[in-house]
């Protein structure tokens, strides 16, 4: 059974058909890469899936539950199951909150009963899980590098124990040397925590690095969906071929190796 089943989803802003009839299935534990040029509707699709932006039409069934049928209370509870990671960790983290207070607050959305040492231990474990030293938990976002800040944002997304992660251009703002470290962290988390992930990028090479399957989006529609290896090495749609000729931002040899193995 698919974990997420999306059928003919539309999100329009007046005449702008940002999401214009998208259908796909996502299996539990799968990483779906979503790629397409700026303005094609990737972020609107993710915000619609997150229930942050109401859809205009279509359906979305998560784990057997149709989201349209949920009461606002149930929706709030179920929303903890999916979390987002954004492009700019600096903008998405509160500059006046320490790492501890940011992560503690996120932990308590799911487990409000935690406090004191137990909560501190939980925050430390989350930081460690994301490759950070818990000794830094009393520091503020500006005291970290961009890569470390993205690790904090990832830890915050994990804190409510989500099942689905949507990562919207999570490495686009990072130095090329840091990008693969963050991609590897995301891959490990999906494997270890049995997460399902939608990974968004305008860069097909970045998407190919992680994804099991890739969806190519253009003008609010999916023009091609397939196994990562097939879409990357034998694209069917002219638009996908066009995306492939764009300059890659990470080591494509490593991707070719991974896809071949
Ligand atoms: N809140 C909104 N109100 C009106 N139009 C919007 C809104 N959000 C997005 N749009 C429009 O919807 C279309 C899709 O935008 P979206 O941000 O989803 O694209 P994207 O693929 O994420 O682009 P990028 O790669 O630049 O992040 C664009 O034409 C955009 O201007
Ligand atoms: Mg976007």
13 lines ligand 1 (CB under 6 A): yes
Helix segments in 72-175, DSSP class H: 72-79, 89-92, 99-110, 116-129, 146-158
Q: Check pocket membership of 218 for ligand 1, CB cut-off 6 A.
A: no
Over 60: is that where the pLDDT of 244 sits? yes
pLDDT band at 68 (very low <50, low <70, confident <90, very high): confident
Token pair in block for residue 119: 């909560």
Domain boundaries, the chain: 4-81+162-260, 92-161
pLDDT at 85 > cutoff 90: yes
DSSP 57-93: EEEEEETTEEGGG--HHHHHHHHTTEEEE-S-HHHHS
pTM of the complete model: 0.91
Looking at residue 245, its pLDDT comes to 82
Report the distance separating Cα 219 and Cα 228, nearest Å. 21
Q: Rounded mean pLDDT of 107-125?
A: 97
Give the pLDDT confidence score for residue 89 in this predicted structure.
78
Query: What's the CATH fold of domain 4-81+162-260?
Result: Rossmann fold (3.40.50)
- Residues near ion ligand 2 (Cβ under 5 Å): 43
Query: Which ligand approaches the C-alpha of residue 16 most closely?
Result: 1
* Contact between residue 89 and residue 146 where contact means Cβ atoms under 8 Å apart: yes
Mean of the per-residue pLDDT values for the chain?
A: 91
């Amino acid at each position: 059974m698919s974990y997420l089943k999306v059928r003919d989803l539309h999100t329009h802003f007046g005449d702008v058909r940002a999401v214009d009839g998208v259908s796909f299935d996502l299996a539990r534990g799968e990483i779906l890469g979503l790629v397409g040029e700026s303005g094609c509707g990737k972020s609107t699709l993710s915000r619609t899936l997150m229930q942050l932006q109401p859809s205009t039409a279509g359906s979305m069934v998560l784990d057997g539950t149709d989201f349209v049928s949920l009461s606002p209370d149930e929706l709030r509870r179920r929303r903890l199951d999916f979390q987002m990671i954004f492009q700019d960790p600096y903008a998405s983290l509160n500059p006046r909150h320490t790492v501890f207070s940011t992560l503690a607050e996120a932990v308590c959305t799911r487990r409000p009963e935690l406090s004191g040492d137990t909560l501190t231990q939980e925050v430390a474990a989350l930081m460690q899980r994301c490759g950070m030293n818990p000794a830094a938990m009393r520091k503020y976002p500006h005291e970290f590098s961009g890569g470390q800040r993205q690790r904090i944002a990832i830890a915050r997304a994990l804190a409510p124990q989500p099942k689905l992660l949507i990562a919207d251009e999570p490495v686009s703002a990072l130095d090329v040397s840091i990008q693969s470290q963050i991609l590897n962290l995301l891959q490990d988390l999906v494997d270890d925590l049995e997460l399902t992930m939608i990974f968004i990028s305008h860069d097909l090479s970045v998407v190919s690095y992680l994804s099991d399957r890739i969806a190519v989006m253009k003008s609010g529609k999916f023009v091609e969906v397939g196994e990562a290896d097939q879409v990357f090495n034998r694209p069917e749609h002219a638009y996908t071929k066009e995306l492939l000729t764009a300059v890659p931002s990470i080591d494509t040899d490593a991707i070719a190796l991974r896809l071949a193995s």
